[in-house]
């Protein structure tokens, strides 16, 4: 393996990239922290059994619609198109935004209406095992209908975020999703405090779905002032005269499927988990939330920050600049995803116990969640690599390769789920996701070499960060064993910071210059 021991960062690129990453990471940290408070309260109020399973199954289905039309997909599709519109002589970014807003609003409204009308049929397909549970299918379908307005609001917010990211505004758009957690936390506190005793457990979970649905409107409203300052208005185009964005968005529709890959994989897992004992769906949801923390905080942030610059480099025909910026994004992802993978794997049980084992969440639910988290964490480096790879290929205008790779990945995930769920339960479902993600990462590696002349073996620091990550994981494991009797919160509070210090100290001792992408040169 060839590795550049002291590969210099492009002039100014590292600082600009780190600045954008820092803003998104700070906002993401707040959002994720609130998300974990929300999830901990959710299992404390409803436990990890059938009622929580119904809510998470309904939310998973709505998430598929949301991610397909909106979040993530809109960034990858809309930003390159907007950059081209800005560069085109006589182009109007405001008019193009208005056209895209009209298309997204109408499409989302139609999808939301269809979701309400066909809610029972959709849930029956997504959670087939619920058909044999009296009342479970009906409750999940009702929750899905209550959640559907969330789709319209959050996809509007996703379009606002894409326009703001194209203007190199990252912090507030990344912070706006915190509205979701705040709304749900408020409802959960009301239930836990006994302020709404007449609702009962069923009425309580419906209230949570309603709060989640309303949070999308709050998220969109929070972004409107910043959007207006950038010159964009929420005016509808005449569908019979000007929908200039419609053909471009339709041509880029495969991005919606491709960038919803993680949600689609979890939907497949949820369908299999509906045949497992109660608690499996909740374990899958909670383990995925924990594993997604470093992915959302760093890998997805690296992809989002890089996308406008990669699209601009492509529009300018700057192949070398494109490759340099891609290296920054992939290096930042690798430097976080690898230690996160090993660290989460060795601390899975104490972390799950510290976060979730409260109220009605029993110790056996912690064991189930930790097992799922362990196997899912093994795929973290691949998850991060794939996030950045997809965005870079869309910036190049390459849509077929990501579509094909992700389709094969999902098919492989579905095939592996059957034997692995039978032998390993919920943990086997997560192992299927990890294995299929690594297969996709290898395919993306080959495509990037061909389309961008980029090779991780030549352009990324691989070996030295791996040594540092291994040392950090050993330190965390040693502390979990040493403090086993001190309680999960004490173990987590000691092991996680110690692993972070060991890892970044190792990077510094080994001279990994790219650590500045994460630390800003302060460590």
The sign of the torsion formed by the CA atoms of 479, 287, 462, 73 equals negative
pLDDT of residue 411: 94
- Could you tell me which of 299, 442, 276, 490 has the C-alpha nearest to residue 372? 276
* Joined tokens for residue 339: 């230690």
Question: What does the pLDDT read at residue 243?
Answer: 59
CA distance 457 to 460: 6
Q: Using CA atoms, how far apart are residues 71 and 78, in angstroms rounded to an integer?
A: 11
Rounded Cα gap, residues 394 and 441, in angstroms: 16
Q: Which residues of 430-466 are buried (b: 16+ CB within 10 A; e: fewer)?
A: bbbbbbbbbbbbebbbebbeeebebebeebbbeebbb
Q: Tokens at residue 98, please?
A: 């208005």
Q: Tell me how far apart the alpha carbons of residues 237 and 249 are, in angstroms, rounded to a whole number.
A: 15
Tell me which residue of 372, 334, 335, 332 sits closest to 352, measured CA to CA. 372
Give me the torsion for CA of 270, 272, 278, 281, rounded to 10°: -20
Q: Which residue in this structure is represented by tokens 């799922």?
A: 372
Integer angstrom CA distances of residue 299 from 35, 134, 294, 433: 18, 41, 7, 17
Half-sphere exposure of 107 (CA within 13 A, CB side): 22
**Ranges under pLDDT 50 in the chain:** 1-14
pLDDT score of 454: 78
pLDDT reported for residue 350: 92
Q: pTM of the full predicted structure?
A: 0.71
Q: Are 283 and 357 in contact (CB under 8 A)?
A: no
Give the pLDDT of residue 443: 94
Q: Which pLDDT belongs to residue 297?
A: 66
b (16+ CB within 10 A) / e for 180-211: bbbbbbebbeebeeeeeeeeeeeebbbbbbbb
**Which has the closest alpha carbon to 298: 12, 28, 14?**
28
Give the whole-angstrom CA distance, residue 25 versus residue 301. Answer: 7
> Which pLDDT does position 290 carry in this prediction?
87
């Amino acid at each position: 393996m060839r590795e550049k021991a002291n590969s210099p960062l492009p002039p100014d690129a590292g600082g600009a990239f780190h600045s954008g990453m820092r803003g998104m990471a700070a906002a993401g940290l707040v959002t994720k922290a609130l998300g974990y408070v929300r999830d901990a309260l959710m299992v404390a109020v409803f436990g990890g059994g059938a009622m929580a399973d119904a809510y998470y199954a309904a939310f998973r289905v709505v998430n598929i619609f949301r991610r397909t039309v909106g979040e993530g997909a809109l960034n990858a599709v809309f930003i390159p198109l907007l950059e081209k519109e800005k560069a085109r002589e006589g182009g109007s970014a405001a008019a193009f935004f208005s056209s895209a807003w009209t298309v997204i609003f109408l499409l989302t409204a139609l999808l939301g209406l269809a979701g309400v009308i066909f809610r029972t049929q959709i849930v029956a397909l997504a959670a087939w095992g619920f058909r044999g549970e009296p009342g479970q299918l009906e409750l999940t379908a009702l929750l899905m209908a209550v959640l559907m307005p969330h789709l319209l609001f959050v996809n509007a917010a996703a379009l606002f975020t894409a326009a703001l990211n194209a203007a190199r505004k990252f912090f507030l758009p990344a912070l706006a999703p915190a509205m979701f957690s705040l709304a749900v936390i408020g409802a959960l506190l009301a239930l836990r405090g006994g302020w709404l005793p007449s609702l009962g457990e069923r009425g309580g979970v419906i209230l949570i779905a309603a709060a989640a649905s309303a949070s999308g409107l709050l998220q969109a409203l929070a972004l409107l002032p910043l959007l207006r300052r950038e010159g964009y208005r929420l005016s509808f185009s005449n569908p019979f005269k000007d929908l200039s964005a419609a053909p471009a968005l339709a041509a880029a529709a495969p991005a919606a499927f491709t960038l919803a890959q993680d949600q689609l994989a979890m939907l497949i897992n949820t369908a299999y988990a509906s045949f497992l004992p109660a608690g499996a769906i909740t374990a899958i949801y909670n383990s995925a939330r924990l594993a997604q923390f470093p992915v959302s905080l760093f890998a997805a942030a690296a992809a989002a920050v890089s996308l406008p610059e990669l699209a601009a480099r492509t529009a300018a025909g700057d192949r070398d600049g494109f490759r340099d910026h891609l290296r920054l994004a992939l290096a930042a992802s690798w430097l976080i995803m690898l230690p996160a993978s090993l660290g989460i794997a060795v601390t899975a049980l104490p972390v799950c116990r510290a976060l979730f084992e409260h109220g009605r969440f029993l110790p056996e639910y912690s064991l189930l969640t930790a097992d799922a988290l362990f196997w899912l964490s093994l795929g973290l480096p691949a998850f991060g690599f794939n996030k950045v790879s997809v965005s870079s290929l869309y910036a190049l205008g390459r849509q077929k390769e990501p579509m094909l790779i992700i389709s094969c990945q999902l098919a492989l995930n579905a095939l592996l789920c059957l034997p692995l769920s039978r032998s390993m339960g919920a943990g086997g479902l997560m192992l299927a996701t990890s294995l299929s993600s690594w297969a996709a990462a290898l395919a993306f590696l080959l495509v990037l070499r061909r389309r961008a002349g980029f090779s991780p073996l030549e352009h990324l620091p691989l070996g030295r960060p791996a040594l540092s990550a291994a040392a950090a994981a050993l330190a965390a494991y040693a502390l979990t064993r040493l403090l086993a009797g001190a309680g999960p919160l004490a173990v987590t509070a000691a092991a996680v910071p110690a692993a972070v210090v060991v890892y970044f100290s190792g990077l510094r001792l080994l001279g990994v210059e790219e650590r500045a992408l994460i630390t800003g040169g302060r460590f």
